[in-house]
Amino acid sequence: MIRLLHRIFPHPHLTFLLTVVWVLLANNLTLNSVVFGLILGIIIPFITQPYWPDRPKLRNWPMVVEYILVVLWDIVVANVTVARIILFKRDADRQPAWICVPLELRTPEAITVLAGTITMTPGTVSSDLSAQGHNLLVHCLDAPDPNAVRDQIKSRYERRLKEIFE
């Protein structure tokens, strides 16, 4: 029975997410949109299942909420920091740097989320992954102390993602 459910709903979170997205797209909460959203939410994961065989297990739901809030707050701070660097710092004083962040995460989904988060937050863009996926190459807009940036990424984001995914 559970295996049958697993075959019909390979990614239950995705089903839920697609339904919510469809209702938001329709922009009114009626039975019509919910039912059609559910239909899409069941069909799309079913069709895409062969391309995404393992689903990541989310272990720690309160941590997911905490992570989203931390990242949203950091994005607001990031905007102000970057705006200040662009407007008030002379281009010659800026110290752009490449840094290498050794990854403890192994789940592809977790690394994707980490790389996306790094791009969206203070003065950093994730640029490349090492050949076997053990390190992440990050470019900093202004990093007088590259080690501090690396430690912040590891303690602020990677630690939380590790608790969520692994």
Partner 1 sequence: MGFIFELLIAFFLVVSGIFGFVGSYGMIKLKDPMSRLHAPTKATTLGVGGVLLASICHSILIEEHLSLHELLITLFLFLTAPITALFIAKWHIHRHEKPKDLPDAGEDELWATHAVEQVEDVPEHSKS
Q: Which of 161, 112, 165, 122 is nearest to 143 (CA)?
A: 122
- Closest to partner 1 by CB, 5 or 93: 93
Measured over the CA atoms of residue 140, residue 65, residue 166 and residue 47, the dihedral's sign is: negative
Count of residues touching partner 1 (by CB under 8 A): 39
Footprint (CB under 8 A) of partner 1, residues 100-139 = 100, 102, 115-116, 119-120, 122-123, 125-135, 137, 139
- Closest to partner 1 by CB, 4 or 131: 131
- Closest to partner 1 by CB, 2 or 87: 87
Residue 61: exposure state from Cβ atoms within 10 A (0-12, 13-18, ≥19): exposed
Decide if 164 contacts 109 (C-beta within 8 A): no
Nearest approach, Cβ of residue 59 and partner 1 (Å): 23
Site membership for partner 1, residue 99 (CB under 8 A) = yes
Site membership for partner 1, residue 155 (CB under 8 A) = no
Q: Which of 94, 160, 159 is nearest to 123 (CA)?
A: 94
- What single DSSP character describes residue 117? H
Can you read off the two tokens belonging to residue 36? 């059609």
Distance CA 87, CA 81 (A): 10
Site membership for partner 1, residue 30 (CB under 8 A) = no
Q: Which residue's structure tokens are 């190459």?
A: 137
Site membership for partner 1, residue 83 (CB under 8 A) = yes
- Closest to partner 1 by CB, 63 or 143: 143
- Please pick, from the candidates 5, 58, 65, 75, the single residue that binds partner 1 as defined by CB under 8 A: 75
Decide if 85 contacts 142 (C-beta within 8 A): yes
| Residues that bind partner 1 in the complex, under the rule CB under 8 A | 21, 24-25, 27, 75-76, 78-79, 82-83, 86-87, 91, 94, 96, 98-100, 102, 115-116, 119-120, 122-123, 125-135, 137, 139, 141
